[in-house]
Structure 1
Amino acid sequence: MADSGFNNANSDNSAEFRPHAFDPWMQPELFRGVLTRRFFAFLIDLLVLSVPVIFGVIFIAMFGVVTLGLGWALFWLVSPASLIWAIVYYGASLGGPHSATVGMRIMDLEMRTWYGEPSYFVLGAMHAILFWISMSIFTPLILLLGLFNGRRRLLHDMLLGTVVINNSALGAVAQPYRT
């Protein structure tokens, strides 16, 4: 009987199982206070996101006054530009060298994949998109999910396979296994 390759553990195209890099029972310091600090990091990031949008709205308003109302036609750009700005901000900051947004860096948090690798741009952008979708569909009560799991992961973290950890505690614990 010919081997179909489905159960071949040595084949190059087979998926590897990677265990979770961060264990909440063995390394509780990585997850201590994460939900509270995530909340304040979110508020800081909202401030960072809103400042350029507010300046853009003020510019359009003043431009409208100077052009006798013609510039106010640019107000339709505020919503799409805000959305693009938020996706680029989260993608670039979470996919950057710190794997954290400005608020997360201030609160000493870092986002990693479940197997311990740093985040990347697409993962950071999808993290923001799934957060806003889950918040708009399931209301903020979905945030209670983080209270009932050891890694303090929220719904969008579970869907994307990410975990947010204390950055300062990461240096104190052993680094995850790298292949």
Structure 2
Amino acid sequence: MQLKHLRTLLSPQGGAAKVTCMASSQNNAKFAVCTVDRVVLLYDEHGERRDKFSTKPADMKDNRKNYMVKGMAFSPDSTKIAIGQTDNIIFVYKIGEDWGDKKVICNKFIQTSAVTCLQWPAEYIIVFGLAEGKSSTIYGTDSYVVALTTNCSGKGILSGHADGTIVRYFFDDEGSGESQHRGSRL
């Protein structure tokens, strides 16, 4: 396999951590990038920037922007995007089907600690990791959730933790007969 550079979507900028997270829609028509200034840039399938919107703090009365966006995931139908933040909240923004549709918050889920990562594998399931070690409300550990990924069917997840543990969890075993399995330390 050979890789070919097609284009640069966001030009290099001075300083570290200018991009905090990225997500691609399941229909491959949208790509989102969140920058350190908490702005979500939306690109089309050709890499053209088509839209952008600013995220909001958990406490709308607090005009200070003292949080970071740590995770983003598109809904399975690609019309919404979940945003996980370090100020202990997940916002779901309705972004619409067409470019230029108004971006509105349609759900908010307050958490007990900072959101560290996020996936949206199925229509009514948003899976997220927290700094205190929980992965959604599925299970809890005592270790910071570093990363999440889903299998291709969206019915299973892997979570990686700061202590080296990897946990595997199935929402549905898809007829394989496999049981829930907690990973071991690497």
TM-score by length of 1: 0.25
Bigger relative contact order, structure 1 or 2 (CA pairs below 8 A, ≥6 apart): 1
Larger radius of gyration: 1
Question: TM-score, structure 2 length as denominator?
Answer: 0.24
Structure with more strand by fraction: 2
